[in-house]
Amino acid sequence: MNLSLYNTMSRTVEAFEPLERRHVRMYCCGPTVYNFAHIGNLKTYVFEDILRRTLEAAGYRVTHVMNVTDVGHLTDDGDEGEDKMVKSSKEKGLDVHEIARMYTDAFFHDTDALNILRPHVACRATEHIEDMIALIKRLEAKGHTYVAGGNVYFSIDTFPDYGKLAKLNLEELKSGARIDVDENKRNPKDFALWFTKSKFENQVMVWDSPWGVGYPGWHIECSAMSMKYLGESFDIHCGGIDHIPVHHTNEIAQSEAATGKPWVKYWVHGEFLINETGKISKSKGEFLTLSVLQEKGFDPMDFRFFCLGGHYRSQLVFSWESMDAARNGRRNLVRQVRALKEQAAASSVLCAEAQSYVDEFSGHLGNDLNAPRGLATLWSLLKDNSIKPGDKLGALYRMDGILGLGLDSPEQEKEEETAIPHQILALVEERLKAKREKNYHRADELRAIVEKAGYKLTDTPGTTQVSKTL
RNA sequence: GGUGCCGUACCCAAGUGGUAAGGGACAGGUUUGCAAAACCUCCAUGCACCGGUUCGAAUCCGGUCGGCACCUCCA
């Protein structure tokens, strides 16, 4: 399987060649655990999961590392603003560590529900403060830092390639166009590595350091932890597209300034999920989480299926109508798979025709993760009556190894029996009797009554199933 | 003000020079007393608009209009 990926650094699709022959080292920016993940966040993790599964399907051993940001960071990249962890902790009346634990659990609960493979290493920022301090010391020794107003800053003017990822034009950037510039900074684009004198109110999350008691800047954790677990140069770094201009730009500066080596080979960024009003965010509009979707009757897999319908580098438009479409489409798929399962067991060796569908599918996924095309191939396979059920199922399972829709997992019969009132059951009985007597006029009357009461009747040979209308 | 992305049917969405994938909805049909399910069929001579290049353009170039994102913590 050939694999090519769009590299933000070169702005082109490049053939993928890892630094080590059969091993891929991948770092994904993880959640900041001061709140639930919203479905926009989750879209990015779905894309990263597709990337990982594609790499594995291509035969690579993957080491997947993700950070969990449990250090409080300010609502502002400068020295102002409120600490988000503290803010959340106050609102919930829990201490910051409890907040972090609660939202970390919630995060993995959601990603598990979406069948997203867990990273091999999920590292907490609070457990790597020493690594961050060591990295800052390294930068300090090389003259990339300065102390001002009690904080340690990275001086971007000491790093000639600053902004290469985002293609920032430093002359023309209007820093401070929308916010006030931190007056401690020599260059408005400088960023803090360590804070000691912020007016933080968080007395819990502070650590001792050579520069005084305080806490790390928000970019340093990713550099420190990724290099700790993946080495000073590794293959893939991914995250949301919003990270390009600031977070990843700063990570590159501090990482490469410290080591003097190229840091990351491929930068892969996922586009945003948006709705009619713009991006889905934590501070704007309705806060859409996976739980909200589930409360509205959607299965987490419906959301995964929905995400797979668009390309990861395109904005995807969320609407309830689209979710309905995704649910219908996925139910249709599951139904067909169930029918195949009843006919045959999945073949372990595929016939040539089935294999050619799998190859076509792999070609699409290998071509910068074109999941929508892959899905189209899956539907054509399903429709191809020249392929025997066992081969069809075997091919489907291979495709699903990447799609992760859980097609091979045993059917969980979700339709749990909600208690049907005995009045309704009595009406159903009466209707059955009318049916047997071929009194269809009466039977239809009874159907109307029962349906009006909020129950759906489905006739099967000899009996009738009752279920509550959603 | 700067930068980037985008505009494809009723909805979502692929498609980067060779004559519009796929899903959903809708409609028609087969079948079942009815209903549901299932199955079959149908669904863009056209890809925001206007010019240009080309044998050929949704795809390339120029312009216009519209949307989104980033330059602020953000997936």
The Å distance, CA of A166 to C1' of B5, is 13
Per-residue pLDDT band at A415 (split at 50, 70, 90):
very low
Query: Is pLDDT of A470 > 70?
Result: no
Residue A39 lies in a domain: yes
The Å distance, CA of A154 to C1' of B1, is 27
Same domain, A240 and A346: no
The Å distance, CA of A5 to C1' of B55, is 34
Same domain, A70 and A83: yes
Residue A40 lies in a domain: yes
Same domain, A123 and A250: yes
Residue A280 lies in a domain: yes
Residue A432 lies in a domain: yes
Q: Which nucleotide is nearest to A44 (CA to C1')?
A: B75
Q: What is the CATH number of the domain that holds A112?
A: 3.40.50.620
Same domain, A211 and A330: no
Same domain, A97 and A219: yes
The Å distance, CA of A363 to C1' of B20, is 21
Residue A77 lies in a domain: yes
Same domain, A34 and A76: yes
Closest Cα partner for A450 from A437, A463, A430? A430
CA distance A422 to A7: 63
Q: What is the CATH number of the domain that holds A303?
A: 1.10.730.10
Q: Identify the residue whose Cα has the smallest distance to the C1' of B10.
A: A321
For chain A, give the mean pLDDT: 87
State mean pLDDT over A63-80. 74
The complex's ipTM works out to 0.91
Query: Is pLDDT of A39 > 50?
Result: yes
Residue A412 lies in a domain: no
Residue with tokens 């360590």: A194
Q: Which nucleotide is nearest to A38 (CA to C1')?
A: B75
Q: Identify the residue whose Cα has the smallest distance to the C1' of B33.
A: A440
Summarised one tens digit per residue, pLDDT across range A120-162 is: 999 999 999 999 999 999 999 999 999 988 889 999 989 988 8
CA distance A301 to A113: 8
Per-residue pLDDT band at A416 (split at 50, 70, 90):
very low
Residue with tokens 């029962």: A450
**Which nucleotides in chain B lie closer than 7 A to a protein CB?**
1-6, 11-15, 21-25, 32-40, 68-75
Same domain, A198 and A320: no
The structural domain count of chain A equals: 3
How would you write A140-182 as a 3-class SS string? Answer: HHCCCEEEECCEEEECHHHCCCCCCCCCCCCCCCCCCCCCCCC
Per-residue pLDDT band at A176 (split at 50, 70, 90):
very low
Query: Is pLDDT of A404 > 90?
Result: yes
- The domain boundary residue, chosen from A219, A245, A270: A270
Same domain, A21 and A141: yes
Contacts of A203 by beta carbon, 8 Å cutoff, 6+ apart: none
Q: A275-295 as b/e, with b when 16 or more CB fall inside 10 Å?
A: beeeebeeeeeeebbbeebee
DSSP β-ladder status, A273-275 and A278-279: antiparallel
- The domain boundary residue, chosen from A209, A240, A270: A270
The distance of Cα A162 from the centroid of its chain, to the nearest Å, equals 28
Residue A362 lies in a domain: yes
For residues A350 and A395, the answer to whether their CB atoms sit within 8 Å is yes
Q: Which nucleotide is nearest to A282 (CA to C1')?
A: B74
- The domain boundary residue, chosen from A403, A430, A446: A403
CA distance A123 to A136: 19
Distances from the Cα of A354 to the Cαs of A47, A59, A347, A392, in angstroms? 26, 20, 10, 6
Same domain, A230 and A246: yes
Strand order in the sheet with A278-279: A278-279, A273-275, A316-317
Same domain, A163 and A284: no
Same domain, A136 and A181: yes
Same domain, A156 and A263: yes
The Å distance, CA of A38 to C1' of B23, is 24
Q: Which nucleotide is nearest to A443 (CA to C1')?
A: B34
Q: Identify the residue whose Cα has the smallest distance to the C1' of B22.
A: A376
User: For residue A231, what are the domain limits?
Assistant: 4-270
Could you tell me which residue, A323 or A90, shows the higher pLDDT? Answer: A323
CA distance A126 to A33: 12
Q: Which nucleotide is nearest to A168 (CA to C1')?
A: B3
DSSP state of A69: B
Query: Is pLDDT of A47 > 60?
Result: yes
CA distance A371 to A194: 41
Summarised one tens digit per residue, pLDDT across range A362-403 is: 999 999 999 999 999 999 999 988 899 999 999 999 999 999
Q: Which nucleotide is nearest to A434 (CA to C1')?
A: B33
Residue A368 lies in a domain: yes
Closest Cα partner for A41 from A221, A222, A281, A243? A281
